[in-house]
Amino acid sequence: MRCVSYTRTTSCKEDGKIPADIIKQQDQHIQEYLKKQGWTLSAKYCDRKKDTEENTVFEELTKDGINRKFDMVVVDSIDRCGRTISCADDVLVKTFVPAGIHFAVVQDEFISIGKTKEELYEYIKKARYAAVQLKGMREYAVREQLEGLYTVHDEKYGYILSDDRRELLIDEEAAVVVREIFQMVLDGMPIANIVKILNDSGIESPMVHNARVGHKVWPTYDNKWLFCSVKRILRCTAYAGYWQKTINKKICTLPIAPILEEGMFEKVQEILDKRKKPRNTRPGKNGLFVKKIFDAETGRKISQRNFKTGETVFLFASGTNQLPRDKSTYISFETVIAEVRKAIQREMELAEQIKKKLSAREAESEKYEWLKQYSQRAWTIFEEMEQVEKERIPLYQNYQTGKINEEEYLVGKEEIRDQLSMYDGDFSELMKEVSVIEKAYSNKNEWLETFKKENLPKELQPEHINKWIEKVLIRDFKEVQVCLSKQEWKKYFPAEWMEE
């Protein structure tokens, strides 16, 4: 049997320093394996450059295999067999094995001889899963963004993704509606009236329209225009020719084909800014819990009243200028503020305790358990993408053999691209969730930052309440329940951490 070996400097798996003698290590492992099998090496192939994209010699190996210059390829590890696991799959499994050329992977003690198609597929599947770490997946998504590729999530009302994913094209059907909305504002029409006109006219709402013409798969929405939908359109800078996107943690301003005439967007912004009503928040105690204190049973708003006699209490709004005689109809300001201060203080102590735990090894284990869930979901996406990718080769073969014409080939190719684009969007969403997990288990956790230990001021001000308090619930004007802010960031930590 004519055996050859393939080695390379870079790996699709590791993200650290490459040992200086990595080629020598691989050669040694392969020689020991060949001796054990009783095989003799007839040629060596090696990609030595420290470049993850280097594949020159691997392509030479592929060409020589097709020309039947050897019968067996031996590699030290599957992650050092071409640029990616997909390269190894395409050449070793999909090209060589069907042609009667086998392969062996030393580290996995895997030999393709006698293996079924399903066993080969399962091996590559496991190898791909081991090689693709979530960090690497995120870097891939960032690299696509830096290369100027958009995803389905970048589509917005009035724009659809181009076939090459390099620009957002004007969707003229929606663009007409956008121009009408801006013109109605210029004509002096309030947003509420615009919403009514759009709904009465039966024009598709942004969500319904995007679900019909866009590339992203949307849930089913009612065809209804909302105040916030119109306001969002009126504030969207894309219609003026530019928009912002976060790429690799940096906010970038990107050009886009404008839908509006020059100056129209700016004129509407001036009109909207003039319509803004100034906030009348009373200073000091009067505005301390504005829109933040409610009855626990009914959700009814509770008001703060400062009486001339010196008492400050919370009660249901009434026209009385005197403190009610019935004490069951109000609760004192001092009682509420004392409970609020206690709750904030306790939360700061808990945040300090959790912060210490994040530096311990058990925090890494907890984070790993969270990330493992997303890793499994990512693998599901990759499996589905792989199934779509498998359609490329038979499609091309059918075209080459004349079973389908060029038009049918291009249509099939486009369908594959669209499906992969959809999975790419799902993957981008998954990466956002992964970023949240990593942020939760770092000092950038918004809850930890908000409740960073500090001395509470003698008198809490509205900015303190807005920072620390979500809302305060009063039950029977006796019990005070303080709902603190940023609580969603605590859900990633184990329950026992909160109880210690």
> Domain 146-275 is in which class?
alpha beta
Per-residue pLDDT band for 500 (boundaries 50, 70, 90) equals: low
Per-residue pLDDT band for 284 (boundaries 50, 70, 90) equals: very low
Of 1-15, 141-155, 447-461, where does mean pLDDT reach its minimum?
141-155
Instruction: Choose between 39 and 407: higher pLDDT.
Output: 39
- Quick one: pLDDT at residue 125? 81
Q: Report whether pLDDT(143) > 80.
A: no
Whether the pTM exceeds 0.85: the reply is: no
- Quick one: pLDDT at residue 146? 61
Q: Report whether pLDDT(172) > 90.
A: yes
**Region of residue 411 (phi > 0: left; psi between -120 and 50: alpha; otherwise: beta):** alpha
Highest mean pLDDT, choosing among 93-107, 373-387, 423-437 = 93-107
Per-residue pLDDT band for 107 (boundaries 50, 70, 90) equals: very high
- Quick one: pLDDT at residue 469? 95
- Quick one: pLDDT at residue 285? 45
Instruction: Choose between 362 and 479: higher pLDDT.
Output: 479
pLDDT tens-digit series, residues 50-74: 888 888 999 999 999 988 999 999 9
pLDDT tens-digit series, residues 320-369: 778 888 889 999 999 999 999 999 999 999 999 999 888 887 888 888 88
Instruction: Choose between 140 and 82: higher pLDDT.
Output: 82
Instruction: Choose between 45 and 392: higher pLDDT.
Output: 45
Instruction: Choose between 198 and 307: higher pLDDT.
Output: 198
Mean of all residue pLDDT scores within the chain: 86
Per-residue pLDDT band for 281 (boundaries 50, 70, 90) equals: very low
CATH number belonging to domain 3-131: 3.40.50.1390
pLDDT tens-digit series, residues 421-450: 777 777 878 888 888 888 999 989 999 999
- Quick one: pLDDT at residue 288? 85
- Quick one: pLDDT at residue 217? 62
Per-residue pLDDT band for 216 (boundaries 50, 70, 90) equals: low
Q: Report whether pLDDT(165) > 70.
A: yes
Instruction: Choose between 135 and 461: higher pLDDT.
Output: 461
Q: Report whether pLDDT(136) > 70.
A: no
Q: Report whether pLDDT(278) > 60.
A: no
